Amino acid sequence: MGRASSSKKVAKAARTAGRPGESKNIVWPVAIGAVVLLGVLLVVVSRPDNPEPVAPRLGDHWHAAYGVNVCGDWMPPLQDQGQDASGLHTHGDGLIHLHPFSTRSSGHNANLNTFGEIVGMEIGDGSLSLPGGIELEDGDDCNGEPGVVQVMVWDNPAATEGRRVPADPGGYAPQDDEVVTIAFLPEGAGLEMPPTVARLADPLAAEEGREPVPIDDPNAPDDPNAPEDPEAGTSPEDGEAPLTDDEGDPADAGQ
């Protein structure tokens, strides 16, 4: 009796657990599969229909004017210092040419520090490194006042107001037709567009081997021989200088 009862219990347990070679319970695998499928569907539904990467994208060809002002003096336009590997470079024309070669230099990565890699410039929070061993930090002397690294951006050459980049200026990614001033000046100093903004009128000139749009050299000394007023001392009628007292009164002429 005890032996038979034990055999029945073993047989019942075997039927419940399933013997080798018999069909196993598939409820649990089905449930897991349903959860995974639901997760995949939610991911697909939540994605936009046409996801677009942040511009500039591969295939874009943008231009932004820039200038570097150190204590009131505009530095000469920077030059490429090696083979361009990112697609962000210059032709020595005071423009940043942005046509990314890969995602490593597109979108948010198409920033001032990526451009700086090819021209030897690096902009940090409170620091600015330029070619020729120029190293500037917030607080360094700038014409008798503490200088501050700052970046101002205008949406286009016609913009009347710019906006300061509040933090991580080297991570700022210029947009097409923008104007960027990188400056080391005292806090509160007025920041202006760089002279190279004129080059945006024909941004492909240097790239295509044509003469870039001429710009005034803001650092050129004044010509000491230039008259203060070209019209001074001339008669509006004939351009001759008026007679002096020594030369007599025109009314006495012929007497």
User: What confidence score (pLDDT) does residue 83 get?
Assistant: 92
Residue 3 has pLDDT above 60, yes or no: no
User: What confidence score (pLDDT) does residue 119 get?
Assistant: 97
Mean pLDDT, residues 18-29 taken together: 57
Q: How much of the chain, in percent, has pLDDT values that exceed 90?
A: 60
**Mean pLDDT in the chain?**
80
Among the listed residues 148, 152, 96, the one whose alpha carbon sits nearest the alpha carbon of residue 119: 96
* pTM of the full structure: 0.67
Q: Can you say whether the dihedral through the CA atoms of 96, 100, 106, 109 is positive or negative? A: negative
Mean pLDDT, residues 224-242 taken together: 47
User: What confidence score (pLDDT) does residue 229 get?
Assistant: 47
Q: Which residues contact 152 (CB under 8 A, 6 or more apart)?
A: 162, 163, 164, 165, 180, 181, 183, 191
pLDDT band (50, 70, 90) for residue 32: confident
What's the token pair of residue 15?
Answer: 């039927």
